[in-house]
Structure 1
Amino acid sequence: MKKYLIAMAAATAAGAALAQSSVTLFGVVDAAVTYTTGSGDGSAHKTQLTNSGNMFSRLGFRGTEDLGGGYSANFWMEMGLQNDSGQGFPSNTNNQASGNGTAGILSFNRRSTVSLAGPFGEVRLGRDYVPAFWNTAIFDPFGTGGGIGANQIYFSGLGGLVAPTGTRASNSVGYFLPANLGGFYGQVMYAMGENASNSVLPNTLVSNKHDGEHTGARFGYQNGGLNVALATGRTRYASGDLRVTNLGAAYTFDASLMNLKLTSELYKESKGSTDAKGALIGFHLPIGPGEIKASYARYKLEPANAALKPTSSKLAIGYVHNLSKRTALYATIARISNKNGASQALAGAITMPNRASSGTEFGMRHMF
């Protein structure tokens, strides 16, 4: 009997060691004092306390269980925070306008996934980032921050922030290549709109059973200081599909050039009968405990049969001073120029067509 109990205890201990698990609480709190202004008769300016100027504020939980043999089960639950007011960001249930959530409610809008990973790669299920978004996140010097330095193409583009699948997709199934492919990486995604087979647009007989269905892919190569990736995505809508294709590239020099990092992006988008093109160049330059970063972006809408093609460009320059590995102070200045009828403005400001908008922000970011 004693030998049996010892054997059972040993087996239990071995099983516990094999299936090691962990859960991590993480987050970002970011706030800034921001001033933005427009120009021309009817323009407006605003001073405000904003959030997410350097990095989007968030709160999340992630965990993993070691299944042995190189396999693991993982989960990731992450919500956005508007810490200047204590509210949350809305989510979307079906990748369509009808699925938009309500601002102010805390929800796991940023990511909510469960996955199985192993030597084959990773299969991930839930609400997750669409492949094309990663080129914006990685190759823009200002990353995914929501401040005045944020990517002009992403924040005003057809396939950017305003699109239900511009950043993330709900009801998705994704596959990621394993990390041992000699620098090559990639992912594919399919997300469901979850409409009934007999679904139609309101007050019509036009079928919209495929609305909200998203397919996307991203493949790239990273070796030494070089990183380059091509991504594409398509979301189906009865009113006209949304298509996004972008190419990103970056090169980080060695210490002889102060670890300077150059970045660039090219975009091509379409929504129904409207096309759009964009481009961005920028750099990161480490300076002591901080970093200087800058970007210049240009975005042009090309509506079908339109005489004018509204075009806006944005120059942003920022400095981040790291007080520690987790805490930083930052400052950014930015200016948007418009022509051909465009009237893009920095957040909070109103500017007239063909006029400029400018702004400054000073903030603090803490990660945990």
Structure 2
Amino acid sequence: MKRTVVAAAACLVASVACAQSSVTLFGVVDAAVTYTTGSGPAYTSRWQLTNSANSFSRLGFRGNEDLGGGLSASFWLEEGLQNDTGTGFASNTNNQLNGTLGAGTLTFNRRSTVSLSSSTWGELRLGRDYTPTFWNTAIFDPFGTGGGIGANQLYFSGLGGLAAPTGTRASNSVGYFLPANLGGFYGSVMYAAGENVSNSTLPPATPGALPVSNKNDGNYGGVRLGYQSGPVHVSIATGLTTYATGDLRVSNLGASWTFEQLMGLRIMGEYYVESLGAVDGRGGLLGFSLPVGAGEIKASYARYVRDPVGNVPNPTSSKLALGYVYNFSKRTAVYATVARLTNSNGASQALGGVSTSPNHASTGGESGMRVVF
């Protein structure tokens, strides 16, 4: 049942208003049994009951009101769930590392926006939302935005991915989205504020040096442009987050082609470049998804290279993942995934919270269930 109690009560009071507006409760609950292990002298292994391996668990409320003349107002409140422990995820107040708060509690960390939109001029959206640069990582990966062992290696290893305050979402943002009737073309732009005071400074790096201004820390700007029509989908995005210690720059290009004559086979890929101060990173992903009856086979290969300062080897990690999803219905599915992550040039990336020695591999498997409501 998607109508909330609040909406039902409102309808009893004002039936005319209810005919023009709606409030919806929605969510995902996803849990999996996962085994991961590293290798080499310093390896560890682990059995876990994890969450969000296929699709991130969440609970949300969204509403829309028709204002007439093609204009509408809406809101969206969405919080992440760790349903294996009954807890939530942290949010961030200022797009900086010192703004993270609320770990373990339920916060509307995934999205909290209010919007004004029109079919003619597009949508203006205010609040906490996905950054333009994250969308390509989510859309052009066969494993989507799930957090399991098949998840995007570029995102989980990258400087501007999971670990970055603006790697997925930005707080205090103003976003604009082009209208949907542009013949397949679409686009968005976002500006988000770190909201530091004008005289904010960092302590001097060395004794006797002057303090460093960080009044612009956490300010983010990004843009995304794309085209989707028929079998083809292509999109490019770039974003910059300002920090006194070194700006974070992320750019990516994603593309896919769906072969309807081959059972709906979708081939997709992403190219990704980034920098944080003087450190660079780059990578690529190639994958596919193939509907098979009520199920879907999916696989991806990703390679990520870090370029540290100086004449030193570039740590490199690569991941191969293979998964299958069986849909009992539109809402309920079971799934299984296996993955292997390899390292070279001193890299020591590992799957699922375990450790692996530098230049060694990590492997894992998971099986779970997902319910959408």
Q: Secondary structure at the match of 1:346?
A: coil
- Structure 1's consecutive aligned runs of 4 or more residues displaced over 6 angstroms after TM superposition are none
Q: How many residues align?
A: 354
- The reply to whether residue 71 of structure 1 matches residue 77 of structure 2 is no
Counterpart in the other structure of 2:91: 91
Instruction: Return the offset for 1:79.
Output: 0.2
Q: TM-score under structure 2 normalisation?
A: 0.93
Q: Is the 8 A contact 1:18 1:67 kept in 2?
A: no
Match of 1:212 among 218, 230, 244: 218
Structure 1 residues 264-292: Cα deviation after superposition (integer angstroms, max 9, x where no partner): 00000000010000000000000110000
Separation (CA, whole Å) in 2 of partners of 1:277 and 1:348: 23
Q: What amino acid maps onto 1:293 in structure 2?
A: K
Counterpart in the other structure of 1:149: 150
User: CA RMSD, aligned part only?
Assistant: 1.3
Separation (CA, whole Å) in 1 of partners of 2:314 and 2:16: 63
Identity %: 70
Counterpart in the other structure of 1:7: none
| Aligned pairs (5 A) from 1:207-286 | 207-254=213-260, 256-286=261-291
Instruction: Return the offset for 1:16.
Output: 3.5
Instruction: Return the offset for 1:348.
Output: 2.1
Instruction: Return the offset for 1:181.
Output: 0.4
Q: Secondary structure at the match of 2:234?
A: strand
Separation (CA, whole Å) in 2 of partners of 1:207 and 1:136: 33
Q: TM-score under structure 1 normalisation?
A: 0.95
Q: Secondary structure at the match of 2:138?
A: helix
Unmatched segments (≥5 aa) in structure 2: 1-14, 205-209
Separation (CA, whole Å) in 1 of partners of 2:353 and 2:191: 35
- The reply to whether residue 111 of structure 1 matches residue 111 of structure 2 is yes
Separation (CA, whole Å) in 2 of partners of 1:105 and 1:99: 15
Q: Is the 8 A contact 1:18 1:68 kept in 2?
A: no
Structure 1 residues 277-333: Cα deviation after superposition (integer angstroms, max 9, x where no partner): 000000000011000000000000001214110000000000000011000000000
Q: Is the 8 A contact 1:75 1:113 kept in 2?
A: yes
Separation (CA, whole Å) in 1 of partners of 2:116 and 2:22: 15
- The reply to whether residue 20 of structure 1 matches residue 23 of structure 2 is no
Counterpart in the other structure of 2:41: 41
Which moved further from structure 2: 18-27 or 191-200? 18-27
Separation (CA, whole Å) in 1 of partners of 2:238 and 2:127: 20
Structure 1 residues 241-276: Cα deviation after superposition (integer angstroms, max 9, x where no partner): 00000000001111x211100000000000001000
Which moved further from structure 2: 280-289 or 299-308? 299-308
Q: Secondary structure at the match of 1:132?
A: helix
Separation (CA, whole Å) in 2 of partners of 1:194 and 1:63: 28
Separation (CA, whole Å) in 2 of partners of 1:99 and 1:18: 38
Counterpart in the other structure of 2:159: 158
Q: Is the 8 A contact 1:264 1:281 kept in 2?
A: yes
Separation (CA, whole Å) in 2 of partners of 1:233 and 1:292: 32
Instruction: Return the offset for 1:115.
Output: 0.4
Q: Is the 8 A contact 1:315 1:334 kept in 2?
A: yes
Counterpart in the other structure of 1:3: none
Separation (CA, whole Å) in 1 of partners of 2:164 and 2:17: 45
Q: Secondary structure at the match of 2:155?
A: helix
Q: What amino acid maps onto 1:47 in structure 2?
A: W
Counterpart in the other structure of 1:338: 343
Counterpart in the other structure of 1:100: 100
Separation (CA, whole Å) in 1 of partners of 2:146 and 2:76: 20
Separation (CA, whole Å) in 2 of partners of 1:51 and 1:17: 39
Instruction: Return the offset for 1:172.
Output: 0.1
Separation (CA, whole Å) in 1 of partners of 2:127 and 2:340: 38
Q: Is the 8 A contact 1:19 1:66 kept in 2?
A: no
- The reply to whether residue 179 of structure 1 matches residue 184 of structure 2 is no
Counterpart in the other structure of 1:4: none
Q: Secondary structure at the match of 1:75?
A: strand
Unmatched segments (≥5 aa) in structure 1: 1-14
Q: Is the 8 A contact 1:31 1:51 kept in 2?
A: yes
Counterpart in the other structure of 1:318: 323
Separation (CA, whole Å) in 2 of partners of 1:282 and 1:210: 38
Instruction: Return the offset for 1:99.
Output: 0.1
Q: Is the 8 A contact 1:19 1:65 kept in 2?
A: no
Q: Is the 8 A contact 1:19 1:67 kept in 2?
A: no
Separation (CA, whole Å) in 1 of partners of 2:352 and 2:27: 24
Q: What amino acid maps onto 2:74 in structure 1?
A: N
Structure 1 residues 28-69: Cα deviation after superposition (integer angstroms, max 9, x where no partner): 000000000000012000000000000000000000000011
Separation (CA, whole Å) in 2 of partners of 1:365 and 1:19: 33
Q: Is the 8 A contact 1:19 1:68 kept in 2?
A: no
Structure 1 residues 319-352: Cα deviation after superposition (integer angstroms, max 9, x where no partner): 0000110000000000000000000000121100
Instruction: Return the offset for 1:18.
Output: 9.8
